[in-house]
């Protein structure tokens, strides 16, 4: 059976990707990161969603990106913005997706997996440079020159099935696949119970997505 590593944050997008990979017939291995994010309650959600989604195995890798800082998600001295910003916002975490995909690449090679799935999106995204098609294409090229497996003829694909979808499209796809989005956490500053703030840009994109999809927002909010 073909295998895939799925980057699973515990949020709306990544759990949809897990369900899509399963539908495509992949045996799924999920990977999450404890990278010093202030919203680490998402890791509890990721573990639960991995099990519900039928993953074979779930790993959590610890990397302390707080040590380099530069993001409101890893540096408590930088406030999480409560309105959508122009340009690249302070919630961008330097090199995060490059680091995550690199580790996923290593596990994929160990598993003899044929694909890595990632839930990046270039339509309703927050201006992050590592959510663009150019980044995915470049990393796939890197993956296929950087590993023993690729040299021996086993090519790997980096799959970003949400990259050209709106948030509403993603939600409608997930509902079709039977996802319970109330179990997901997308908020940048969720509380210890996983309740969303409803004010950060991630919450706002999520709210707009449910509204545009014509589906009641099941998110648990702090107020």
Identify the pLDDT of residue 133.
93
**How many whole angstroms separate alpha carbon 109 and alpha carbon 154?**
9
State how far Cα 207 lies from the chain centre. Answer: 17
Bridge partners, residue 221, by sequence? 196
Bridge partners, residue 29, by sequence? 5, 57
Identify the pLDDT of residue 124.
57
- Whether residue 45 contacts residue 184, with contact meaning beta carbons closer than 8 Å, is answered with yes
- Whether residue 39 contacts residue 45, with contact meaning beta carbons closer than 8 Å, is answered with no
Alpha-carbon torsion 139, 144, 146, 147, what sign? positive
Identify the pLDDT of residue 85.
64
Identify the pLDDT of residue 1.
84
Residue ranges of domains in the chain, CATH in brackets: 3-213 (3.40.50.620)
Please give the chain's pLDDT, 223 residues, in tens.
899 999 999 999 999 999 999 999 999 999 999 999 987 899 999 999 999 999 999 999 999 999 999 999 999 889 888 776 677 888 889 999 999 999 999 999 999 999 999 999 987 556 789 999 999 999 999 999 999 999 998 999 999 999 999 999 999 999 999 999 999 999 998 998 899 999 988 899 899 999 999 999 999 999 7
* Number of other residues whose CB lies within 10 A of the CB of residue 220: 15
- Interior/surface letters 33-58, b for 16+ CB within 10 angstroms, e for the rest: bebbbbbebbbebbbebbeebebeeb
**How many whole angstroms separate alpha carbon 96 and alpha carbon 119?**
13
Identify the pLDDT of residue 84.
66
Identify the pLDDT of residue 137.
97
Identify the pLDDT of residue 122.
85
- Whether residue 189 contacts residue 203, with contact meaning beta carbons closer than 8 Å, is answered with no
H-assigned helices in the chain:
12-23, 42-52, 96-111, 133-146, 148-151, 167-176, 201-213
Say whether pTM exceeds 0.75: yes
Identify the pLDDT of residue 29.
98
User: CA-based angle 169:171:176, to the nearest 5?
Assistant: 95
Identify the pLDDT of residue 125.
58
């Amino acid at each position: 059976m073909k295998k895939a590593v799925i980057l699973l944050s515990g949020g709306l997008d990544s759990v949809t990707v897990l369900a899509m990979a399963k539908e495509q017939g992949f045996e799924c291995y999920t990977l999450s990161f404890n990278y010093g994010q202030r919203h680490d309650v998402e890791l509890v959600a990721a573990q639960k969603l991995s099990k519900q989604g039928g993953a074979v195995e779930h790993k959590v890798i610890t990397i302390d990106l707080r040590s380099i800082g530069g993001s409101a998600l890893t540096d408590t001295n930088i406030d999480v913005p409560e309105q959508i910003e122009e340009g690249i916002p302070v919630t961008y975490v330097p090199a995060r997706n490059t680091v995550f995909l690199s580790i996923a690449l290593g596990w994929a090679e160990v598993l003899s997996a044929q694909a890595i799935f990632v839930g990046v999106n270039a339509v309703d995204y927050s201006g992050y440079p590592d959510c663009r098609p150019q980044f995915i294409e470049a990393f796939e090229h890197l993956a296929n020159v950087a590993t023993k497996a690729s040299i021996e003829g086993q090519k790997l694909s980096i799959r970003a099935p949400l990259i050209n979808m709106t948030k509403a499209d993603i939600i409608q796809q997930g509902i079709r696949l039977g996802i319970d989005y109330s179990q997901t956490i997308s908020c940048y500053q969720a509380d210890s119970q996983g309740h969303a703030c409803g004010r950060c840009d991630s919450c706002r994109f999520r709210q707009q997505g449910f509204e545009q999809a014509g589906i009641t927002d099941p998110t648990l909010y702090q107020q």
